[in-house]
């Protein structure tokens, strides 16, 4: 090290219980201490009664009388005027010249795993820290993308300095006491094959998946051993007791080594993880790993682990069974793991911090971005009466998407609705009952095998070439997200419509660098995607028979009741042409504008405020433009439909499907003038 800038280290972590974050800080500081030569030194500034790790080049300097967050925010900034290094998610807001490691944004992505006080504190602090810090650091590329979604910092401006593995090599299983005593006292001294899982019982750790799988594990003669317990920051998680599930509680590192060297595998089913330190610890100790195929896990594991969906217990059972019956597979994973952990070194991470402390803007070479398996996305277009428009939209999607869909379904009422798409490679045309909800359900019943994500597009929506790739990345990074919608650059539905060529021009002129992230956000049906595992068994309500833009809200509200997160990202975008051909008459639509919100209110998928707002806005728009209607909207027909609906409601009739039985009225030709060109 050639130190040119004096710096100090935020030592508050030395007063905290040792979780993964504190372990990261301790190992980084220890390696920085080893890297310093001659007269180089950097103080670790600590509150009173901190544990002294006994390092030579990074001595402890106690300052102030406060403790905890109060010490960090009020005392620490006055202790040192130079650059500060904070390694554990928080730092003093008043100090600008500092390097801060934020390990993940799970406080935003998985808030249910944390106590209300903890959530409030972090959600208040971290946005300020992200704006004021000289540099933000995180532990994986997936964590950088996640942080960008919730905090005001670009992923490309975040330095990635991963966890290391060397500390696990110093553990001594011969000194283990808790684990051997447990196996002896349980009457299983020979240690029946067991799967080990670690970490807190926070909900995002998803240990319930393994407990759910416990009966199936028992059938193949495998136990589940859970080591570790929940910290004070985590909400309680009830794990159902099973005869072959053993809760060890907190164990020592030596006990952990003992368990890892004897386990059939480490199972790591987390929904959300900034890095996943237990993964490299297991690999370093020669233990095979089965991990989630989302968040940071694919890039940390690479080809050295078996990956499975955190929603599919059967997939985990299959991997565990394979390891039990195939010593060759287990040995292969052990060898791959020992090679993989060489990428993750505390020494390299410490050197990266020392470089940033000298020059915060410096570009660092990280361990590289592992390319996980691409998610299997199917695209669905529901269409009726617009064969030329849907044909152009589908063909452009197939030609331009960087992530190719595993299949495109065009759901029609009549085969002629699909135009020439029936002979287009990669496209499957399905026919069934008419109506948007029914046509989408037809597609849902016949998705390609193993579809992970289903994307619905209007037949007149032109998507940016990265739409599917962006959605796929979000679903992989954020496994609790169930619904996704993108940004609409221009929406012809609000005017006379947009021609195809103009839509393409607007799309190409749009900025791709929109980092807007909105949550919760009800999907907009012209471009929306769903995690298939999250909507399993769900269907669009076919009583909502018309294209009145509420089918999507109803579906999303039903999904939200199950805990599914619904988000909007500005990174995915497109143009909604709003083509007027094939539209229903104003009378039928006007009827739906009144009855559908009331029906959804009764279902519980709309609040009274939302339903009232929806109805009043429609009434004001229709009656306000009745005398001078737009040439592309049948205002008079909508008013007639509104009045019929109000009469039915007053008579106690609340049947949204009645809209389809109203007489069709001829729509003026001016409404159909705007076509795809």
Helix (H) or strand (E) holding 10: strand 7-10
Q: Which two tokens stand for residue 266?
A: 């480490």
Q: What are phi and psi of 281, to 5 degrees?
A: -65, -45
Over residues 574-603, mean pLDDT: 87
What mean pLDDT do residues 495-508 have? 94
Residue 583's pLDDT is what? Answer: 55
Q: To 5 degrees, how large is the angle CA 57–CA 60–CA 65?
A: 165
* Residue % of the chain over a pLDDT of 70: 92
What's the pLDDT at 668?
43
**How confident is the model at residue 202, as a pLDDT?**
72
**Which pLDDT value is given to residue 549?**
73
Confidence bin at 211 (pLDDT 50/70/90): confident
Which whole number is the average pLDDT over 162-174?
A: 97
Most confident of 367-371, 562-566, 670-674: 562-566
To the nearest whole number, what is the mean pLDDT of the chain?
90
- 618-634 pLDDT, tens digit each: 999 999 999 888 888 88
Judge contact between 303 and 343, C-beta under 8 A.
no
The predicted structure's pLDDT at residue 446: 96
Query: Domains of the chain, with CATH numbers?
Result: 7-164 (3.40.50.2000), 167-344 (3.40.50.2000), 377-576 (3.90.550.10), 586-672 (no CATH)
What pLDDT score was predicted for residue 112? 83
pLDDT of 99 higher than 90: yes
Instruction: Kindly state the average pLDDT of the residues 454-481.
Output: 95
Q: What pLDDT score was predicted for residue 240?
A: 52
Are the C-beta atoms of 453 and 532 separated by less than 8 Å? yes
How much is the average pLDDT of 402-429? Answer: 96
Q: What is the pLDDT of residue 370?
A: 62
Q: Would you tell me the crossing angle of helices 277-284 and 327-340 to the nearest 10 degrees?
A: 110
pLDDT number for residue 114: 85
pLDDT bracket for residue 46 (50, 70, 90): very high
**SS3 for 304-362, per residue?**
HCEEECCCCHHHHHHHHHHHHHCHHHHHHHHHHHHHHHHHCCHHHHHHHHHHHHHCCCC
Confidence of residue 245 (pLDDT cuts 50, 70, 90): confident
pLDDT for res 633 = 84
Dihedral angle at the C-alpha atoms of 361, 516, 273, 403, nearest 10 degrees?
A: -100
CA dihedral 277→322→209→199, nearest 10 degrees, is -20
Which of 263-267, 296-300, 521-525, 644-648 bottoms out in mean pLDDT, i.e. has the lowest? Answer: 521-525
Confidence of residue 586 (pLDDT cuts 50, 70, 90): confident
Residue range 53-80: average pLDDT? 94
pLDDT of residue 3: 47
Give the tens place of pLDDT for each residue, 589-613: 999 999 999 999 999 999 999 999 9
pLDDT category of residue 192 using cuts at 50, 70 and 90: confident
Give 665's pLDDT tier (boundaries 50, 70, 90).
Answer: low
Cβ 344 vs Cβ 19: under 8 Å: no
> What is the per-residue pLDDT for 675?
29
Reading the block at residue 517, the tokens are 């992230």
Residue 673 banded pLDDT, cuts 50, 70, 90? very low
pLDDT in tens, 284-332: 999 999 999 999 999 999 999 999 999 999 999 999 999 999 999 999 9
Q: For residues 192 and 468, what is the distance between their CA atoms, to the nearest angstrom? A: 45
450 or 283, higher pLDDT:
283
Q: Mean of the pLDDT values across residues 370-380? A: 85
For the cut 60, the answer to whether the pLDDT of residue 402 exceeds it is yes
> Does residue 548 surpass a pLDDT of 70?
no
Residue 264 to residues 93, 210, 255, 324, 561: CA-CA distances in angstroms? 46, 14, 16, 7, 38
Residue 45 clears pLDDT 80, i.e. is over it: yes
Band (pLDDT 50/70/90 cuts) for residue 177 is very high
The predicted structure's pLDDT at residue 237? 47
pLDDT at 674: 30
Where residue 130 falls among pLDDT bands split at 50, 70, 90? very high
Query: What's the token pair of residue 581?
Result: 């051909």
Q: How confident is the model at residue 190 (pLDDT cuts 50, 70, 90)?
A: low
Q: Over 60: is that where the pLDDT of 384 sits?
A: yes
């Amino acid at each position: 090290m050639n130190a040119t800038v004096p710096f100090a280290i935020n030592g508050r972590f030395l007063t905290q219980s040792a979780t993964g974050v504190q372990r990261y800080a301790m190992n980084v500081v220890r390696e920085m201490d080893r890297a310093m030569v001659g007269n180089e030194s950097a103080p670790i500034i600590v509150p009173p009664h901190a544990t002294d790790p006994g390092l030579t080049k990074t001595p402890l300097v106690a300052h102030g009388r406060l403790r905890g967050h109060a010490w960090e925010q009020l005392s620490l900034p006055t202790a040192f005027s130079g650059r500060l290094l904070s390694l554990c998610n928080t730092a003093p807001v008043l100090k600008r010249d500092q390097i801060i490691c934020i390990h993940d944004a799970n406080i935003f992505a998985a808030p249910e795993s944390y106590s209300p006080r903890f959530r409030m504190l972090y959600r208040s602090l971290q946005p300020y820290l992200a704006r004021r810090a000289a540099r933000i650091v995180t532990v994986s590329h997936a964590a950088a993308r996640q942080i960008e979604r919730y905090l005001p910092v670009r992923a490309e401006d975040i330095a990635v300095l991963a966890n290391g593995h060397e500390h696990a090599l110093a553990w001594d299983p011969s000194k283990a006491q808790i684990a051997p005593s447990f196996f002896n006292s349980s009457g299983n001294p020979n240690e029946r094959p067991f799967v080990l899982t670690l970490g807190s019982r926070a909900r995002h750790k998803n240990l319930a998946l393994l407990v759910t799988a416990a009966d199936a594990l028992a059938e193949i003669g495998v136990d589940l051993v859970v080591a570790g317990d929940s910290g004070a920051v985590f909400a309680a998680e009830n794990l159902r007791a099973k005869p072959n599930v053993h809760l060890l509680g907190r164990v020592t590192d030596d006990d952990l080594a003992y368990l890892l060297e004897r386990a059939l595998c480490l199972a790591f089913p987390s929904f959300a993880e900034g890095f996943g330190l237990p993964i490299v610890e297991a690999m370093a100790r020669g233990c095979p790993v089965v991990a989630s195929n989302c968040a940071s896990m694919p890039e940390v594991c690479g080809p050295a682990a078996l990956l499975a969906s955190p929603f599919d217990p059967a997939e985990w059972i299959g991997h565990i069974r394979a390891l039990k019956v195939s010593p060759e597979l287990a040995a292969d994973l052990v060898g791959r793991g020992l090679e993989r952990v060489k990428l993750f070194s505390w020494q390299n991470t410490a050197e990266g911090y020392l470089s940033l402390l000298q020059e915060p803007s410096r570009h660092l070479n990280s361990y590289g971005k592992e390319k996980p398996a691409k998610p299997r996305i199917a695209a669905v277009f529901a269409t009726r009466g617009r064969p030329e428009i849907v044909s152009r939209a589908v063909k452009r999607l197939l030609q331009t998407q960087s992530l190719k869909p595993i299949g495109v379904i065009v759901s029609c009422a009549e085969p002629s609705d699909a135009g020439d798409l029936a002979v287009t490679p990669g496209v499957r045309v399905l026919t069934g009952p008419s109506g948007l909800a029914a046509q989408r359900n037809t597609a849902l019943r016949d998705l390609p095998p193993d579809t992970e994500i289903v994307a619905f597009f209007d037949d007149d929506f032109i998507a940016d070439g990265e739409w599917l790739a962006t959605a796929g990345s979000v679903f992989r990074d954020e496994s609790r997200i169930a619904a996704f919608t993108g940004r609409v650059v221009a929406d012809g539905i609000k005017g006379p419509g947009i021609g195809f060529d103009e839509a393409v021009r607007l799309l190409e002129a749009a900025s791709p660098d929109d980092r807007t992230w909105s949550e919760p956000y009800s999907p907009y049906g012209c471009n929306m995607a769903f995690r298939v595992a999250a909507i399993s068994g769900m269907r669009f309500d076919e009583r909502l028979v018309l294209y009145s833009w509420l089918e999507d809200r109803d579906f999303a509200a039903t999904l939200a009741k199950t805990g599914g997160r619904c988000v909007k990202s500005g990174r995915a975008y497109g143009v909604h042409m709003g083509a007027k051909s094939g539209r229903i008459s104003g009378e039928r639509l006007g009827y739906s504008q009144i009855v559908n919100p009331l029906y959804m209110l009764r279902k519980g998928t709309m609040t009274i405020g939302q339903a009232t707002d929806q109805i009043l806005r429609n009434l004001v728009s229709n009656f306000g433009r009745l005398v001078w209607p737009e040439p592309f909207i049948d205002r008079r027909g909508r008013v007639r439909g509104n009045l019929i609906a109000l009469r039915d409601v007053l008579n106690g009739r609340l049947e949204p499907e009645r809209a389809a039985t109203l007489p069709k009225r001829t729509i003026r030709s001016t409404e159909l003038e705007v076509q795809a060109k």
